Amino acid sequence: MSTVTSQDGTVIDYDRYGDGPAVIFIGGATQYRAIDQNTGQVARRLAAEGFTAVDYDRRGRGRSGDTAPWALEREVEDLASLIKAAGGTATLYSSSSGATVALAAADAGIGVTALALYEPPLFADADHTEHLATLHSLLTAGKNDEAMRYNLTAVIGIPSDAADGMAQAPGWTEMVAVAPTLVYDLTALHEINVDPDWAGRWASVTVPTIVYSGDQTFPGMPEAADTVAAALPNATRRILPGQGHGPTPEAIVPVLLEFLR
């Protein structure tokens, strides 16, 4: 484990594997190393293929710190520090809402050379004002467990019985621990979705980009991936057979290597 210190003093903790061109993995909502073994597996496999792979805890999660107030720009500054530590340039691989950070970083000119986005949940005109108000209310009252369940059912759309099952599974306590960061991801999604120039906001993101989706995922995700790819000047699409909202290492590593090479 290693750390970098971001511009606002926040310590960001990460694992680094291998030596070569850098790839930095950006988790989606609630995703961090303590409960996400797949990303670590993918990182190690890339390292074995000649890449430097960086798997980090986003601010407010796991071993990384958190400094108020949150802003998407602070997360871009976190990435800038990680990219510098990795050699000055990097490809960014994002999962789900991690795409908000990846896209902002690519637009910021901090050494991003390529983007691989897995199922960015971006939907033009989707307004999350009420969801954000509810999450803020629950979190302010210390009801992190309820906030996580609300995010799963009301925001994501998972059936309540499935959410109940998740709450009984190993890792639930670790998920609830990062409930305060739910508003970070949802705020970033909301601000992008309500942007009247949604399709044009990434016109300057010209780095090579690939947008992935699975064919066994949540409704709307493939269409969202299509739309994001169409909005980016230098993007291609790839659909992974048999994959859901989180691909297995066996499915993502070969196609990611193909893109990286």
CATH of the domain at 104: 3.40.50.1820
Q: E-strand spans in the chain?
A: 2-5, 11-17, 22-26, 52-56, 90-95, 112-118, 209-214, 235-240
Mark whether 103 and 166 lie in a shared domain.
no
Please list the helix, strand and coil fractions of the chain in percent, rounded to the nearest 5, in that order. Answer: 45, 20, 35
The rounded Cα 79 to chain-centroid distance in angstroms is 12
Mark whether 7 and 21 lie in a shared domain.
yes
Mark whether 239 and 164 lie in a shared domain.
no
Mark whether 101 and 223 lie in a shared domain.
yes
In angstroms, the CA 115 to CA 109 distance is 13
* Whole-number pLDDT of residue 15: 98
Chunked mean pLDDT (size 10), the chain, 261 residues: 96 98 98 96 98 98 97 98 98 98 97 98 95 98 98 94 93 96 98 92 95 96 96 97 97 98 93
Please check whether residue 191 lies inside any domain of the structure.
Answer: no
Mark whether 176 and 106 lie in a shared domain.
no
Mark whether 11 and 47 lie in a shared domain.
yes
Mark whether 112 and 217 lie in a shared domain.
yes
* Whole-number pLDDT of residue 192: 96
Mark whether 114 and 60 lie in a shared domain.
yes
- In 49-178, which ranges are continuous DSSP H helix? 72-85, 99-107, 129-140, 144-150, 160-167, 172-177
Mark whether 51 and 168 lie in a shared domain.
no
235 three-class SS = strand
Range of the structural domain that residue 162 is part of: 129-183
Mark whether 39 and 96 lie in a shared domain.
yes
Number of continuous H segments (helices) and E segments (strands) in the chain: 10, 8
* Whole-number pLDDT of residue 199: 81
* Whole-number pLDDT of residue 1: 80
B/e letters for 237-250, b = 16+ CB within 10 Å, e = fewer, are: ebebeebebbbebe
Q: Is the pTM higher than 0.95?
A: yes
Single out the residue of 71, 92, 98 nearest to residue 80, CA to CA: 92
Count how many domains the chain has.
2
* Whole-number pLDDT of residue 148: 98
Mark whether 203 and 223 lie in a shared domain.
yes
- Hey, how many other C-beta atoms are within 10 angstroms of the C-beta on 190? 18
